[in-house]
Amino acid sequence: MKPLIRERVRGEHGEEFTIYGEYKILTHLPSDYQGTYEVPNWVTTIGQDAIRSCHELTSVKIPKSVTMIRSGNFHFCDKLTSIVVDANNPVFDSRHNCNAIIVSVTNTLVLGCNGTTIPDGIESVEEGAFVGCSALQSLYIPASVKHLGFRFFESCPNLASISVNINNPLYDTRDNCNAIIETATNKLLCSCQAIEYFVIPRSVTSIGSYAFQGCRNLKSIRIPERVINIGESAFDNCHSLDAVLHLSDIKVIEKNVFADCMQLKKVVIGSGITKICLGAFCACVSLKEVVIFEGVREIDSWAFGRCDSLERITLPSGLETIAPDAFKNCNRVVQVNIPSGTSEYYAKFDALKKFRWRFVECDTLS
């Protein structure tokens, strides 16, 4: 048997193909391609990231020959509003002019665009189905949807409205909150990225990882008293966030929860919290004051690293562990408030040695 030869071919629009036996793969469409692109009718596979960051691409037509589409396609195609699959394709469809790619046999929406409408009958939306859909303004989740992939949308800066059919048994958008909540667990999974002010429904008990990540317009968030868990990176990269109201009933501030919140100026960490994890407030460059009440036992690495404007830190008694780089590159600290009689205790921590001459012992920390 002769070995298969991998052949690379360039198309008339500058696109690149790889031919390997029976596989005929579109591997790259130039990022400056404009208008409608019709995938050639001999292509069997659209390779990973083959059609990505094509900022002037407006529509894509998928022929019946394509039976495999890898991940990463259509991401960051800012003007893409139309996706049409040939009606005779044996694997995929774009039923009801939904402008998406659906795996027909499983009713799974795998890739969408700025013009997508999720049709009734869809049972699953894949992880990463909507990434970089910068013109997407609203999403409607039908009653039929049983599974939403982790971070099924992200980098959608103009997404201002999310709604879920009231008959969906698994998900809801209670109180018109423009967020998706897992009904059985009262867990908020994800939220619109165009919002400025957000009040989490009082019935919510947890906030999922990455739930508000990249909500760069978000200025204020009110966290209900019933919330006992906030997942990692939940508010990461919320550049406009300057106020977080109520942060005491959770036990642990997880990894990178408020990292890169560039407008956050003051943080008060309540008595119910026991640990501040890796990078929790890292690179909050406007943060000037941190107040940590009794109960916190551990501050992890880079918890407040690169907080360039940090001037005042208030620490409780009973801290057991402070990572050496917990306050890495915090070079503007002028005062560290500590309980009376604890100067020697706190001076032993490497993270605080450089601040020792700034210790201020207080009878009451507030």
- Overall average pLDDT of the 27-33 stretch: 97
**Residues 71-126 pLDDT 10s:** 999 999 999 999 999 999 999 999 999 999 999 999 999 999 999 999 999 999 99
Per residue in 208-234, pLDDT tens? 999 999 999 999 888 888 999 999 999
pLDDT score recorded for residue 363? 64
**Residue where a domain terminates, one of 265, 287, 321:** 265
Residue with tokens 């394709």: 89
Residue 281 has pLDDT above 80, yes or no: yes
More confident residue, 244 or 163: 163
Q: Is residue 96 part of a domain?
A: yes
Same domain, 237 and 195: yes
Picking from 184, 237, 238, the residue whose alpha carbon sits closest to that of residue 206 is 184
Q: What are phi and psi of 55, to 5 degrees?
A: -70, -20
Domain interval for residue 339:
266-366
Residue 172 sits in the same domain as residue 247: yes
Give the pLDDT confidence score for residue 2 in this predicted structure: 55
**274 and 257 co-located in one domain:** no
In the prediction, which pLDDT does 364 show?
Answer: 55
Task: Tell me the average pLDDT across 227-250.
Answer: 86
DSSP state, 46? E
Confidence of residue 62 (pLDDT cuts 50, 70, 90): very high
Please identify, among 223, 249, 265, the residue that sits at the C-terminal boundary of a domain.
265
Task: Judge if pTM exceeds 0.95.
Answer: no
**CATH number of the domain within which 309 lies:** 3.40.50
Domain check: are 289 and 318 in the same one? yes
Q: In what order do the strands lie in the sheet with 82-85?
A: 34-38, 56-62, 82-85
Number of domains in the chain: 2
Write down the mean pLDDT value for the chain: 93
Q: Which two three-digit tokens encode residue 131? A: 């990434």
CA–CA separation, 106 vs 104, rounded Å?
Answer: 6
Q: Are residues 297 and 156 part of one domain?
A: no
Say whether both 155 and 125 belong to one domain: yes
Q: Which of 292, 77, 119 is nearest to 101 (CA)?
A: 119
- Same domain, yes or no: 316 and 280: yes
**What whole-number distance in Å separates Cα of residue 254 and Cα of residue 48?**
32
Residues 329 and 198 reside in one and the same domain: no
Rounded to whole angstroms, the Cα distance separating 337 from 56 reads 55
Same domain, 156 and 249: yes
The pLDDT tens digits for 131-170 are 999 999 999 999 999 999 988 998 999 999 999 999 999 9
Judge if 207 and 295 occupy the same domain: no
Cβ-contact 207, 231 below 8 angstroms: yes
Sign of the four-CA dihedral 202, 204, 208, 212: negative
Calpha distance 141→129 (Å, rounded):
13
Out of 25-34, 209-218, 275-284, 340-349, pick the least confident: 340-349
Q: Are residues 172 and 310 in the same domain?
A: no
In this structure, what token pair is assigned to residue 220? 């204020």
Shared domain for 192 and 261, answered yes or no, is yes
Residue 1 lies in a domain: no
- Please state the φ and ψ torsions of residue 357, each to the nearest 5 degrees: -70, -5
Query: 177: domain CATH number?
Result: 3.80.10.10
Question: How does pLDDT run across 318-343, given as a tens digit for each residue?
Answer: 899 999 999 999 989 999 999 988 88
Give a yes or no: residue 338 inside a domain.
yes
Domain end call among 265, 292, 313: 265
Domain assignment of residue 280, yes or no: yes
In this prediction, residues 232-254 reach a mean pLDDT of: 86
